[in-house]
Chains A and B, each alone.
Chain A
Amino acid sequence: MSAYLLQAEDVTIQGEGVTIAPFSCALEAGSRLTLLGETGSGKSLLAQAIMGTLPRGLRARGRLVIDGETFDAADDKSRRALWGRRLALLPQEPWHALDPTMRAVSQVAESHRHVAGRDRRHAQQAAWADLAELGLAEAGGKLPGELSGGMAQRVAFAAASAGGAPIVIADEPTKGLDAPRRDAVVELLARTPESGGVLITITHDIDVARRLGGEVVILRQGQVVERGPAQQVLTHPQSEYGQELLGAEPSRWPRPAPLGETAQAPVVSATDLAKARGGRELFRELSLTVRPGEIVGVVGPSGCGKSTLGDMLLGVTRADDGKIQRATGHPLGFQKLYQDPPAAFSPHWRLSRLLDDLVRRHRLDRSVIPPLMARLGLDERLLERHPGEISGGELQRFAILRVLLLEPCFLFADEPTSRLDPITQRSTLALLVELARERRCGVMLVSHDPALIGRICDRRISLGGEPVSEVRQTLDPALA
């Protein structure tokens, strides 16, 4: 018997325009492997090939050795007997992975009963013990719809690992979680290798990869670009792409040009704002100002009212209490960028038509469009497509083009790059900051990433948790 728990030899995946180059790895007890890459890099497909859950139309080839037993990767069904017992998969979006009509504890108990083979009473006890250990003692009786994203992640972890599988594959385990919850999940994942198992993590988050350590593989378009110990790959990448990817980390971004003179009248200022939602107070006595060209960051856990605050400044939502003063003379000067670019467009029309509508509605000067498009890196030909037919980054830049045509004085950017890949995120935000400075447009930027906010914002507002405070910071490097 070999010393390796899991070995993959020349695993390839093909079909439907997807090609994943041969991938091999050998993992002994206690080791960690992280597959790092952007959307479409094929990192999830590799995990699915190991499990045997590839979507129809895709075929895997190669050899897998799991616990000394050899499998043909092409035979999907051969690994099913290992599911839950030798191989565990932590699914993406745990919220959707839990049966919405079954209480949390039962979903864990059924793994103990039917996978680990305990009797009904012991399975129930074991499930409660698991939940208590994960700090979920009160959540056991709840339905998935009543759990938060982080809680659902832990319940899914308990359900997946109840069978005691030594090999755990986690597919984007931190997707949609904010920074503190992300760290908690990383800690949870680290238990498997610590107790002599193997952990394979698929992620796009460099920070997660760094915290997990072990071996890191950077994938791009189905090819392994670089691999090696996390320490080395994530500090001194050799490949060009690896360097680019690392450079896209907010802490390595160049600082924006200084704001300069700040004596100008604010574009929007709010005093003593208060808002409650669903009987819960979001914030109270919140005061802030945004000056022309200034970038103000807003951070806080999900559900703390970041978007609501921006919508109040725009006049889309009403405040419960307090006063908002907007700069006069700009009826269309208050604009917004959305988190999910395709959701901000009607999918049924060509971009050229939507742009034309705007030009005609406000009798805008058409001659400013081509240079601005060139500046934003938008090709003229994109205009002939529908919003769903171009990439998220391109569409977000088109959205920036659309609002800039109205010469806004205040822009509320609600996590505008959280759905974009790191490299695109960096270039998009850099452009946004540059244009805002140049056009003296005040920006309120929401993000769940404190490092990002710390890097490019002139000031930061943090909501939720502690009493609300406006931190007047001077680009504090400790935040980065």
Chain B
Amino acid sequence: MSETLAARSTSRWASRMTTGLGGLLLQRLFQAGLVAWMVGTLTFVLTRSLPGDMAYRIAAGRYGHDMVNTSAAEAVRAELALDQPALSAYFGWLWDLVQLDLGRSLVSGERVVTELWHQLGHSLGLATMAVLLSLLLGPPLGLLAGLKPNGVLDRVSEVAASVLRALPPFAVGLILILIFSVSLGWLPAAGHGRSAHSVLPALTLALALAAISSRVARNAMADVSQSAYYAFSRTKGLGERLSFMRHGLRNAAVPVVAYLGVQFVYLIEGVVVVETLFAWPGIGHALVHAIVARDVPMIQGTALVMGLMFVALNTVVDLICYWLDPRRRSA
């Protein structure tokens, strides 16, 4: 059973294995282009689906209700190219995107790129902390559990992982807030600035990630510890510790790291809700705000950055796998 699981879990990135490093990077570059095109197209559809008086409402949002006049609304209309025929507007929209001209926020009037720059820093900080924390929690626990499948540690960590996986990150966050901020008063619930602020959001994300990575590591380790080469390593006289260090760790690490790529989907999704819950001034928070305010340029910018972040993180995973697994290099 677990063998088939491993076989299946490797089939997902088997396609990555067959190509060399160059082809791999080229594939990721193509994916990045695809992300940009999809985000651009969807946000363009969004501009076209705005109701007729949207330009006025946006202008009102930006300049205040008293200041709104026809010229302000016209400015908005021009910014979104609402006055042009659809097709030319679409190509204009994509051309701006290619030049990385993301326009200005309809709400704040700031350049989108400037805002994104600030937000990205916050989000990356949070994401890095969360991933590091989850790597400290998940894989070591999983490896230990996998060395003794169906042992006590395996069962306990399986129950914990099932519970955590059934709770969405925002519910985990809520529970953490209720325990640590509201009831105990140890940590601040929301906001940003001191390092204490980052503990709860990072922990929330990390728990969700660790719940999965611990099980992936467990299955990988269980497969390795039951494999013929692990048994051979022991009978040829290497002993438990050396067998684990020389043959267990690397072979178990390959699927764990490869699965990180899938986990980044959870990370990106988690960032959206967790930042909103904790009022963390990052990209995810900004995206939700922009959607509520129908701030199209900001929606495009934030979605684009998140999509590209996803691609970039996956590229890093590819590179680590490439380095870890010599089979990919000689393929």
B228 interface residue per 8 A CB criterion: yes
**Complex: A75 Cα to B305 Cα, angstroms:** 61
B326, A97: Cβ atoms closer than 8 Å: no
**Complex: A163 Cα to B242 Cα, angstroms:** 15
Interface-central residue, A97, A98, A159, A165, by most chain B CB under 10 Å: A97
Q: Which residues of A contact B330 (CB under 8 A)?
A: 142-143, 146
**Complex: A153 Cα to B242 Cα, angstroms:** 23
Which one of A99-107, A183-191, A306-314, A405-413 contacts B? A99-107
Total number of B residues with any Cβ neighbor in A under 8 Å: 23
B238, A84: Cβ atoms closer than 8 Å: yes
Which one of B104-112, B120-128, B186-194, B243-251 contacts A? B243-251
Main secondary structure of the interface of B (DSSP, over half): helix
A101, B237: Cβ atoms closer than 8 Å: no
Q: Which residues of B contact A92 (CB under 8 A)?
A: 228
B95 to chain A, nearest CB (A): 46
B70 interface residue per 8 A CB criterion: no
Choose from B235, B238, B242, B326 the contact partner of A51 (Cβ within 8 Å): B235
Interface string of A21-39 (1 = CB under 8 A from B): 0000000000000000000
**Complex: A93 Cα to B231 Cα, angstroms:** 12
Interface-central residue, B237, B238, B254, by most chain A CB under 10 Å: B237
A20 to chain B, nearest CB (A): 20
A115, B327: Cβ atoms closer than 8 Å: no
Q: Which residues of B contact A143 (CB under 8 A)?
A: 326-327, 330
B238, A96: Cβ atoms closer than 8 Å: no
Can you name the residue of chain B whose Cβ is closest to the Cβ of A97? B232
A250 to chain B, nearest CB (A): 30
B254, A83: Cβ atoms closer than 8 Å: no
Among A82-127, those with CB < 8 Å from B are 83-85, 88-89, 91-93, 96-103, 110-111, 114-115
B235, A98: Cβ atoms closer than 8 Å: no
A100, B251: Cβ atoms closer than 8 Å: yes
Interface string of B213-240 (1 = CB under 8 A from A): 0000000000000011101111111110
A164 to chain B, nearest CB (A): 10
B232, A98: Cβ atoms closer than 8 Å: yes
Interface-central residue, A96, A98, A99, A160, by most chain B CB under 10 Å: A99
A53 interface residue per 8 A CB criterion: yes
B64 to chain A, nearest CB (A): 64
Choose from B229, B242, B250, B251 the contact partner of A96 (Cβ within 8 Å): B229
B238, A115: Cβ atoms closer than 8 Å: yes
B325 interface residue per 8 A CB criterion: yes
A298 interface residue per 8 A CB criterion: no
Given contacts A99-B247, A101-B254, A110-B246, whether A83 and B232 have CB atoms under 8 Å apart is no
Q: Which residues of B contact A342 (CB under 8 A)?
A: none
B251, A101: Cβ atoms closer than 8 Å: yes
Interface-central residue, B233, B246, B254, by most chain A CB under 10 Å: B233
Choose from A89, A99, A101, A102 the contact partner of B235 (Cβ within 8 Å): A89
**Complex: A156 Cα to B233 Cα, angstroms:** 10
B226 to chain A, nearest CB (A): 11
Can you name the residue of chain A whose Cβ is closest to the Cβ of B330? A143
B250, A83: Cβ atoms closer than 8 Å: no
**Complex: A99 Cα to B252 Cα, angstroms:** 12
* Known A114-B238, A162-B236; further 9 A-B contacts with Cβ < 8 A: A83-B237, A84-B238, A88-B235, A98-B229, A99-B251, A100-B251, A103-B326, A114-B242, A165-B237
* 3 cross-chain pairs, A with B, having the tightest CB-CB distances, nearest first: A84-B237, A115-B237, A97-B232
